[in-house]
């Protein structure tokens, strides 16, 4: 991966932070969050690796990664055929960000992993073997609890959950938290929900405000102060192979994701210091 020098404007964590971005409910801004938090951290001088573990490959597309058949990808990494270093592509808009893309091959990985030894630990082993100075590893996983998502949660120490400020926002959240607890008990005792990010917030509606209040009441300080607004620019950016931060830097969506990244970085530095 090509890494260019840049001004460091956010605190560098003392040790690498591995965060899986997860929600078993689709359409909550999971991929958008992974892409934009990753780019925001990278443009702030931190070295970031984004791993696309969703067979749809939307994260790869938004980061400008090549993902045609035969491209070295996370599928090959999980099967043990190549290392992460051999699959990393540099994001064109953020030279400090590397992306391990997902290709169509990943759709069959769940079945192939079933009979493999240490099947839940394949991604953890690959990340631990990284010979690179990454400050953050962000893992975008599919909206389901299969072996891919389990691999992501076993590999990570932190879970970030995007929750949309809409009706049924908390639907399925109890199941997700229960699954995280089971993985913590049986496979990864260090796993914890470190961050909840409220997305698709529409200040014009009372519903959005009510959902935000409800989430804050349930989860307290785990919820970031920053709200990600519902935004046309945020939705448009991936179709241009970009994050909203590089597509329209002055938009509310871009500034909100930059603010969220600042919160995540400062919180992490504070916790590691403690």
Structural domains of the chain sorted by starting position, each given as residue range(s) with its CATH number in brackets: 17-269 (3.40.50.300)
Residue 6 has pLDDT above 70, yes or no: no
Among 231, 179, 245, 168, residue whose Cα is nearest residue 200: 231
Quote the percentage of the chain above a pLDDT of 90.
Answer: 69
- pLDDT score of 274 more than 60: no
What digits encode the pLDDT tens for the residues 220-255? 999 999 999 988 898 898 888 899 999 999 999 999
The CB-side HSE value for 269 (13 A sphere, CA atoms) comes to 12
Q: Which two tokens stand for residue 29?
A: 């801004």
- 55 to each of 60, 95, 108, 178, how far by Cα in Å? 10, 24, 9, 24
pLDDT digits (tens, 9 = 90+) for 209-223: 998 998 999 899 999
């Amino acid at each position: 991966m090509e890494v260019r020098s840049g001004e460091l404007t956010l605190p560098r964590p003392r040790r690498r932070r591995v965060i899986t971005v997860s929600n078993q409910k689709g359409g909550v801004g999971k991929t958008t969050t992974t892409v934009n938090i990753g780019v925001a951290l990278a443009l702030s001088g931190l070295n970031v690796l984004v791993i696309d573990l969703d067979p749809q490959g939307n994260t790869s597309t938004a980061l400008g990664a090549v993902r045609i058949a035969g491209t070295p990808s996370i599928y090959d990494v999980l099967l043990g055929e190549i290392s992460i270093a051999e699959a990393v592509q540099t994001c064109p808009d953020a030279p400090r960000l590397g992306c391990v893309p997902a290709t169509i091959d990943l759709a069959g990985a769940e079945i192939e992993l079933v009979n493999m030894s240490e099947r839940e630990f394949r991604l953890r082993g690959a990340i631990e073997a990284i010979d690179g100075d990454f400050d953050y590893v962000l893992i975008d996983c599919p909206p389901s609890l299969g072996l891919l998502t389990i691999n992501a949660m076993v590999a990570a120490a932190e879970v970030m959950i995007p929750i949309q400020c809409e009706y049924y926002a908390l639907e399925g959240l109890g199941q997700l938290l229960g699954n995280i607890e089971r993985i913590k008990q049986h496979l990864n005792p260090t796993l914890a929900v470190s961050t909840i990010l409220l997305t698709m917030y529409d200040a014009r509606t009372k519903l959005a405000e009510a959902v935000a209040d409800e989430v804050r009441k349930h989860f307290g300080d785990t919820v970031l102060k920053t709200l990600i607004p519902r935004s046309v620019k945020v939705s448009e950016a991936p179709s241009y192979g970009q994050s909203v931060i590089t597509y329209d830097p002055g938009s509310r969506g871009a500034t909100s994701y930059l603010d969220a990244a600042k919160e995540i970085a400062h919180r992490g530095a504070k916790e590691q210091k403690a």
